[in-house]
Structure 1
């Protein structure tokens, strides 16, 4: 599926593991989840045909490229 415009809002430093904070997860589980989160971010961002917007507050997600 492709969309003309996509906005990824709230891509802050803690968004990648935000869902895991509700559960008791070990560091290993969190590190195993990061590649899956990176894949989801890739899929979401590559669906934009014309424009992609990304927002965050304070620090950006470590899954986003620097710069």
Structure 2
């Protein structure tokens, strides 16, 4: 399995946790892959005060 395929699986799993409350995931966006770099997802989640926080999830092969 290559890292782009794995990113798709992770993307699908994270989308299953979609919602608008603390502990839910607001958005999951794949970031276009760049040669030689890990594939990434941009994940937006609300913090306890309801403010959106953006996280980058990287997937790289060892």
TM-score by length of 2: 0.30
Which of the pair is proportionally richer in strand?
2
Highest RCO, 1 vs 2 (Cα 8 Å, sep ≥ 6): 1
TM-score by length of 1: 0.29
